[in-house]
Every structure is written in structure tokens, then in C-alpha cells.
Amino acid sequence: MIRIASLLCLALLLAACASLPGPRSFTLTPSDIERHIEADLGTTFELFKGLDIRRPEVALMPVSDRLQLTWNVRVPDGPTGSPLGVAVALAGKPVLNEARNGVTLTQVTIEDVRVTGVPALFNLGLAQLGERKGASLPDLPLLVLPAEQLTRNQVAYGATAVAVTFTGLRIDLEPR
């Protein structure tokens, strides 16, 4: 009986050593995604000096397996001297890029466009922005996966799947 128990423990120990080291997936929280986008687009934001452009707010839509990104842009001195603001919300389905090292948004649509700080007289021309809701946009590269997540214990991993969960964007991994 002891011999069988010892062999079973040895077999379990060998199986544990042969299995994938570390977790088979990781999750990027909405704030992680926001930081990655801000880092990737930081130089682009610098081109718009004088505008207050913040990193996008990320909302998870796990039921439809989509992400929503909302950008808020403020012009400190609008046409009436008060701040002018524009908020644009885009939503899309996250998929892995061909290299399996990044995430791209596909099926991107404009969910909402809001303009604040504009007098009613000027608002007539901006009503056309609201008509763009639901319009399709081309695929949007979202982020490059963190290198430290794709290399563990000197083993290179590739992403195999991406899913929107209630806690974030889950990326499944396998060794290359």
C-alpha cells in the first residue's frame, strides 16, 4: 500500500514539473488598458498642445464581448471664453493581432458624441456629429501586450485568445 502511494505521489510530482510554469492567462484591468493606450499614444497627444486630452476611459462590456473607449477633449478657451468639451465613445470587439503579441479592436462603431460649452446658436452645425452614432470605423490597434507577461522563466509565450470579462481583458497564453 505504501509503495502504491509513493508511486502515485511521484507520478503527481512529475506531472506538476512537466506542466506549464505560471498561470495560463493574465487579466488587464481597465486602468491597465488605459495606461497602455496612454503610453502608446503619448507622443501623438503632444502634437495637440493647448488641448486637454486625457487617456481614454475604458468600459467593459462582457456580455457582448466588447470594449468601450471614451475620449474627452477640452479646449480651455472655447468660442465664448468658456471651456469647450468633446466626448467621443467608440466600442469594438478585441481580437489578437496576427503576431499574437497585441490586441486590435474590430467591428468598431461610434457609440456616442457629445459637445459641451457651445452656445445654442453654434450647436445647430454640431448636430451632425450626433448623426454619426452607429457609424462603422476601421480596425483600431489597441495595445501591445506587456513583454514581461509573454516571457516567464526564460520561456516565450504567445497569446492564444482574448476575452472581455467582468474584471478586465483576459489573455490566454501557451508556450511558443
User: What tens digit of pLDDT does each residue of 96-117 get?
Assistant: 988 888 899 999 998 888 777 6
- DSSP string over 71-137: EEEEESS-TTSS-EEEEEEEEEEEEE-TTSSEEEEEEEEEEEEEEES--HHHHHHHHHHHTTTT-EE
pLDDT of 159 higher than 90: no
C-beta neighbour count of 35 within 10 angstroms: 14
More confident residue, 14 or 40: 40
In the DSSP assignment, the letter for residue 41 is: H
Grid cell locating 19: 506542466
Whether this model's pTM surpasses 0.95: no
Residue with cell 512529475: 14
